[in-house]
């Protein structure tokens, strides 16, 4: 595994260089990972890398790109909208020559245009948003403040909002609230029950599960025919 970079388009027609973790031996089959979003992205990153490690053992290259405003990106997340992430994944797919895509959780809301593959544990954007709103409300309550979902959304749509440590614009909130996993030709939905075990994105801290990583990587490898 190594870190590389890819040219990523930005709002307004500019471009930047973003990081990506890659297992690249120049092999025929190359899987682009559309990562989980926001706090789930942090919680599932170790698991995602373990899936990539197992794909590597099956003779499959893979790439996990940083999206604009996330991880090591120097872009301001408050200026980013979901379409910017979709364009970033398209750019990463072209740059690394991806042949398939594996979207994880919210990553399936911003799938690149032309790749077939899999969407693990699909989730609606509104569900991701509700989870972050509830976490903020609980945190505020512990600090002696009362907040509500409706009031936070009204504020957020007008002025933007910080949720789970992420500064989100009103437009990001508006779009995220309406995004749903699409029934895209060539994309197979993989429910978590196929992998088994407890959902890692529900745990308090980032974690991994070897059996779950084995199971998901095996499904992908068999699907590719590697």
Q: How far apart are CA 29 and CA 102, in angstroms?
A: 12
Structure-token pair, residue 218: 């095996």
Domain coordinates of the chain in residue numbers?
2-123+182-224, 125-180
CATH superfamily placement of domain 2-123+182-224: Alpha/Beta hydrolase fold, catalytic domain (3.40.50.1820)
pLDDT digits (tens, 9 = 90+) for 137-173: 999 999 899 999 999 999 999 999 999 999 999 999 9
- CB-count exposure of residue 33 (10 Å: 0-12, 13-18, 19+): buried
Angle between helices 38-57 and 210-224 (to 10 degrees): 60
pLDDT digits (tens, 9 = 90+) for 22-74: 999 999 999 999 999 999 999 999 999 999 999 999 999 999 999 999 999 99
- Whether 127 shows a pLDDT value over 80: the answer reads yes
pLDDT of residue 98: 98
């Amino acid at each position: 595994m190594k870190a590389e970079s890819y040219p990523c388009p930005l709002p307004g027609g500019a471009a930047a260089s973003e990081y990506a973790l890659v297992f690249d031996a120049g092999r025929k089959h190359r899987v682009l990972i559309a990562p989980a979003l926001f706090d789930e992205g942090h919680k599932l990153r170790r698991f995602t890398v373990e899936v990539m490690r197992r794909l590597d053992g099956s003779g499959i290259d893979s790439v996990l790109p940083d999206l604009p405003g996330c991880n090591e990106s120097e872009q301001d997340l408050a200026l980013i909208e979901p379409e910017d992430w979709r364009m970033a994944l398209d750019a990463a797919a072209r740059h690394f020559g991806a042949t398939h895509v594996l979207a994880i959780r919210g990553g399936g809301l911003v799938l690149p245009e032309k790749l077939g593959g899999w969407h693990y544990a699909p989730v609606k954007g509104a569900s991701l948003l509700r989870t972050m709103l509830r976490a903020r409300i609980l945190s505020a309550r512990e600090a002696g403040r009362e907040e509500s979902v409706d009031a936070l959304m009204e504020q957020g749509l007008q002025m933007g909002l910080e949720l789970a440590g992420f500064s989100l614009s009103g437009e990001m909130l508006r779009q995220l609230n309406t995004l749903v996993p699409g029934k895209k030709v060539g994309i197979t939905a993989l429910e978590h029950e196929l992998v088994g075990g407890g959902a890692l994105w529900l745990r308090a801290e980032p974690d991994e599960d070897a059996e779950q990583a084995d199971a998901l990587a095996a499904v992908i490898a068999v699907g590719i025919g590697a």
